[in-house]
Amino acid sequence: MQPRDLSDHVAYKAGRGIEEVARELGRDPSEFVKLASNENPHGPSPAAAVAIREHASSTSSYPKAAHADLVAAIADRWAVEDEQIWLANGGDGAIDYLHRATIEPGDAVLVPTPGFAYYGMSSRFHHGEVREYPLERTNDFEQTADRVLDSYDGERIVWITSPHNPTGTTMSVDEIERVAVETDDETLVVVDEAYGEFADLDSAVSLLQGRGTDDGRDDVAVLRTFSKAYGLAGIRLGYAIVPEEWGDAYARVNTPFAASELACRAGLAALQDDEHVERTVRTARNSREYLRDRIDADVWPSEGNFVLVDVGEATPVAEALQDRGVIVRDCSSFGLPGCLRITCGTEAETERAVEALNAVLAGRDEESETATEVPDT
Ligand SMILES: *Cc1c(COP(=O)(O)O)cnc(C)c1O
């Protein structure tokens, strides 16, 4: 017997890990820095790490109180109703819930290209189709309502990533609202704000705030995660903020207890730890400025904790960087075979990445110069 026909499904390509690369190259893990998965270079919120240790002995029970407490804390932070918070196993889990709650077989979703692969993967799991709207390199991947609406054709969900991974561009709340207004009543606009903390930009959650009145929109949802600014990628915790009218659907689509006891406890602690988030955001902003100023190649401005770099041909440059101990993301799998994405690291990691990348780029330029100087024989 075989699984169902999965030929339309592709495996998610994660950034490469230090252990994996070190083993493959037969080298010591301590020689590497990983700037490939937009993780937090300061680690988790220390308060979250304490909470995880403290609650280790209560993991024999299903998470109920912790789930309710975290939902209430998040709802409070965003000034929305508790029912509007759909906790999930990572932001990726929340993507699944939104598809489960909307897609009938054959419905389509509209996703950005280049863009985050999991929107399309998840839609296909739910028997949905995937259509794309292009972000154009010639416009520096600018995100406007028109860009989306030009490709829109009645899809059930429109995915907007702001700040966008891997380009770092954003879409203003006004433009997002215009997409919501100009698409059909039955189209949900989901704004993925996985990198929202790093941006100097208002959250689209403002479109959902009604607090019992019917002021909030019923066709916009926002996605957030604890994986990036909060440094909890390994705990798997994220959530969607949905319209008030959608509250009911959560109980029908969620995987029971998918946000674990430790995840909820860690999330609660991390949410109170403003200092850790502020430090993280400061580091990312300094790092992305430095990367942009110092790399000897075109670097796009970014509102995330990463930058996109135009290196011409990503794969050989990423491999050469890896030999020098710096692991970055080859954006070929995002549909940008000429680009690398480099995560903002600590000051030391950022300097090391720039030095290594500039050395690789200089070496390559020298090689091509010598190659052209060699006379024909
Ligand atoms: C990281 C990321 C997410 C969510 O990741 P989780 O670890 O599942 O929370 C969602 N969208 C984008 C664009 C991301 O980069």
Domains of the chain are: 18-43+274-370 (3.90.1150.10), 46-271 (3.40.640.10)
What ranges in 215-373 are assigned the alpha helix state H? Answer: 249-253, 261-272, 274-294, 314-323, 347-373
Which value, in Å, is the radius of gyration of the alpha carbons in the chain? 22
Q: Amino acid identity, residue 96?
A: D
Is the pLDDT at 79 greater than 70, yes or no? yes
C-alpha to C-alpha distance for 46 and 239, rounded to whole angstroms: 21
More confident residue, 371 or 171: 171
**Span 320-328, average pLDDT:** 96
Check if the beta carbon of residue 309 is closer than 8 Å to that of residue 318.
no
Closest-CA residue, ligand 1 atom 14, reads 194
Res 320: pLDDT: 96
> By CB neighbour count within 10 A (0-12 exposed, 13-18 middle, 19+ buried), where does 50 fall?
middle
C-alpha to C-alpha distance for 236 and 163, rounded to whole angstroms: 20
Residue 61 CB partners (closer than 8 Å, separation 6+): 261
**Span 326-330, average pLDDT:** 96
- Give the tens place of pLDDT for each residue, 97-136: 999 999 999 899 999 999 999 999 999 999 999 999 999 9
Our answer on whether the CB atom of 122 is closer than 6 Å to any ligand 1 atom is: no
Q: Which backbone phi and psi does 273 adopt, to 5 degrees?
A: -90, 70
**Span 265-278, average pLDDT:** 98
CA of 201 from ligand 1 middle (Å) equals 18
Residue 304's pLDDT band, with cuts at 50, 70 and 90, is very high
Res 362: pLDDT: 94
Our answer on whether the CB atom of 40 is closer than 6 Å to any ligand 1 atom is: no
In the numeric block, which tokens belong to residue 224?
A: 């957030």
Is the pLDDT at 148 greater than 90, yes or no? yes
Closest-CA residue, ligand 1 atom 5, reads 91
Residue 211's pLDDT band, with cuts at 50, 70 and 90, is low
Q: Reply yes or no: is the peptide bond before residue 163 cis, omega within 30 of 0.
A: yes
Confidence (pTM): 0.95
Res 10: pLDDT: 82
Residue 214's pLDDT band, with cuts at 50, 70 and 90, is low
Is the pLDDT at 40 greater than 90, yes or no? yes
Is the pLDDT at 374 greater than 90, yes or no? no
